[in-house]
């Protein structure tokens, strides 16, 4: 539902409530953001700040943002992240820094002139975590083992197939490098405990990611002779590490490789998800397992490359995960909408389009279609029995029904899941007013497609001639004024 006040509060929170101590332990937040505050001090020419965020887990397209600064001032960039993540910067030189959900990274930038009167761009970041990464890059030449070209085993990835001897040599280098990385980490003072745990996990599982990628380049016969890389799977201390989750993802790909290359990729991904459920249950627990599963569901949208793929992902999620929390639903819907935009798929019904028809039955088994309600304005409420936000909207919906009295407005509640017993129970328990209909057969899939429903609840306002006034409009608590205006102008 749209709430302008809430949106303004969120924006204000991003830009004013950003300061926090790096010693405060971050948490996983599915719908969190972080901001970069750029303070331009000495600027008398164009200064470019470029950033690039590539999420290892959940998978997302790399997102580049930049600002061209032409005068002193304060500038902001924001990124949507779920846990601490590394972001690449170019401010005169290339470097990386850690972003933390709900936090602000403050960077001072400008121009300076050295004693030789040579002019250059500077950046200054005052925090211990940045200082650690800066020192690590200077010592080892890389931030992480997953850096593409600057990691210690990059030369072993030139060939698609490697020998047992090459694998053994690479693993030796990885193990030695990991030990040196950890020794370096432990010598650095004034780092928060949560970050030490995070970086320890990044080192351990960054090496494990490279090890499994090398292992899959061995021949099947060689794999039989060589034990799999030893690493702890269920590690709660690693719960903030993207490289931990990326390793788990790689491990599942190794355990359940593509068997039928003729299957659509999204079908293979959903099949792999189903096959790997027992393995996930045996390897993970608690918050780690919960987050891993949620992000893998989001990845079904990431790997979709058509409207049909997205519908396949929708069907898989709604059929197999019926008790998702509101924050998970918001997260998955955001990922889906982003993919829909990326693919350029039409995402809404414009005003004046004919409202798509339906033919659905009520609690008594009597069929209804949209044309039954001609000469009335129609407020359609798409909902589901498993949808907590839908249930919480019912009191406002009942209040709207009461306020309308005998006015020519019909409220139609369309239940999108075929669960008649639960549907009737909620209607009775919540005293859901209006005409109550339920989808059966293929109607759920059809209406989601026709009404561009990406999240529930979904509301649509239709005029007296069956034409769209507003699809995906405000909910019952905010729609009264618009309906009153329609009635006054009738």
Q: How many CB atoms lie under 10 A from the CB of residue 318?
A: 18
Q: Where are the domains of the chain?
A: 4-126, 256-347, 359-488
Rounding to the nearest 10 degrees, give the CA dihedral for residues 303, 304, 310, 315: -50
Instruction: Fill in the DSSP letter of residue 256.
Output: S
Q: What is the SS3 assignment for 92?
A: coil
Give the residue among 433, 437, 280, 275 at the shortest CA–CA distance from 360. 437
Q: How far apart are the first and last CA of the chain?
A: 26
Burial 232-246 (b: 16+ CB within 10 A, else e): ebebebbbbbbbbbb
CATH architecture of 359-488: 3-Layer(aba) Sandwich (3.40)
- CATH 2.60.40 matches 4-126: yes
Which residues touch 397 (CB under 8 Å, ≥6 apart)? 381, 411, 413, 432, 433, 434, 475, 476
Instruction: Write out the two tokens for 314.
Output: 């929708």
Can you give the pLDDT at residue 159?
Answer: 85
Can you give the pLDDT at residue 260?
Answer: 66
Per-residue pLDDT of the chain (490 residues; tens, 9 = 90+): 334 333 333 333 433 334 455 668 899 999 999 999 999 998 989 999 999 999 889 988 889 999 999 999 999 999 999 999 999 999 999 999 999 999 999 999 999 998 888 899 999 999 999 999 999 999 999 999 988 778 899 999 888 899 999 999 999 999 999 999 999 999 998 999 999 999 999 999 999 999 999 999 999 999 999 998 899 999 999 999 999 999 999 999 888 876 666 777 788 888 888 888 889 999 999 999 999 999 999 999 998 988 889 888 988 998 889 889 989 998 998 898 888 888 887 767 888 889 999 999 999 999 999 989 988 999 999 999 998 889 999 999 999 999 998 899 999 999 998 889 999 999 999 999 999 999 998 899 889 888 988 889 999 999 999 999 999 899 998 898 889 888 888 6
Q: Rounded distance, CA 192 to CA 174, Å?
A: 26
Which residues touch 189 (CB under 8 Å, ≥6 apart)? none
Q: Rounded distance, CA 113 to CA 134, Å?
A: 22
Can you give the pLDDT at residue 481?
Answer: 87
Sheet with 85-91, side-by-side order of all strands: 63-69, 47-53, 85-91, 93-99
The alpha-helical segments, DSSP class H, found in 344-380 are: none
Phi-psi region of 472 (alpha: psi -120 to 50; beta: other; left: phi over 0): left
């Amino acid at each position: 539902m749209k709430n302008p006040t809430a949106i303004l509060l969120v924006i204000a929170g991003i830009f004013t409530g950003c300061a926090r101590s790096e010693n405060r332990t971050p948490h996983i937040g599915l719908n969190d953001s972080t901001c970069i505050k750029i303070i331009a001090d000495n600027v008398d020419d164009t200064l470019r700040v470029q950033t690039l965020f590539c999420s290892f887990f959940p998978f997302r397209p790399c997102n580049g943002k930049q600002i061209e600064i032409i005068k002193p001032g304060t500038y902001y960039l924001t990124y949507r992240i779920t846990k601490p993540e590394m972001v690449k910067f170019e401010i005169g030189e290339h470097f990386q820094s850690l972003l933390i959900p709900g936090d602000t990274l403050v960077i001072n930038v400008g121009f300076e002139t050295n004693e030789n009167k040579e002019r250059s761009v500077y950046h200054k970041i005052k925090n211990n975590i940045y200082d650690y990464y800066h020192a690590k890059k200077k010592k080892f030449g890389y931030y992480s083992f997953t850096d593409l070209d600057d990691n210690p085993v990059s030369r072993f990835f030139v060939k698609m197939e490697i020998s047992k001897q090459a694998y053994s040599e690479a693993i030796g280098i990885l193990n030695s490098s990991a030990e040196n990385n950890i020794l370096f980490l432990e010598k650095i003072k004034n780092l928060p405990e949560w970050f030490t745990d995070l970086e320890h996990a990044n080192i351990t599982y960054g090496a494990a990611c490279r090890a499994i990628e090398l292992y899959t380049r061995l021949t099947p016969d060689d794999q039989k002779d060589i034990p799999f890389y030893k690493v702890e799977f269920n590690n709660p201390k690693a719960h903030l590490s993207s490289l931990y989750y990326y390793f788990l993802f790689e491990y599942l790909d190794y355990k359940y490789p593509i068997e039928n290359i003729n299957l659509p990729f999204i079908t293979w991904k959903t099949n792999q998800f189903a096959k790997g459920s027992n393995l996930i249950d045996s390897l993970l627990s608690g918050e780690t397992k919960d987050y891993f599963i949620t992000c893998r569901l989001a990845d079904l949208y990431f790997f979709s490359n058509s409207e049909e793929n997205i519908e396949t992902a929708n069907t898989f999620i709604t059929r197999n995960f019926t008790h998702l929390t509101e924050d998970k639903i918001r997260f998955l819907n955001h990922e889906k909408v982003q993919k829909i935009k990326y693919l350029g798929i039409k995402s809404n019904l414009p005003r004046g389009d004919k409202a798509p028809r339906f033919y659905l039955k009520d609690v008594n088994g009597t069929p209804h279609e949209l044309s039954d309600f001609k000469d009335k304005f129609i407020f359609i409420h798409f909902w589901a029995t498993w949808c907590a936000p839908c249930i919480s909207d019912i009191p406002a919906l009942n209040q709207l029904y009461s306020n309308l009295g005998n006015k020519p407005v019909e409220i139609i509640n369309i239940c999108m899941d075929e669960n008649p017993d639960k549907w009737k129970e909620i209607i009775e328990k919540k005293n859901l007013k209006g005409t109550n209909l339920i989808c059966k057969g293929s109607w759920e899939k059809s209406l989601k497609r026709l009404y561009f429903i990406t999240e529930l609840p979904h509301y649509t306002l239709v005029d007296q001639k069956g034409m769209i006034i507003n699809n995906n409009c405000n909910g019952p608590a905010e729609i009264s004024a618009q309906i009153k205006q329609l009635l006054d102008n009738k």
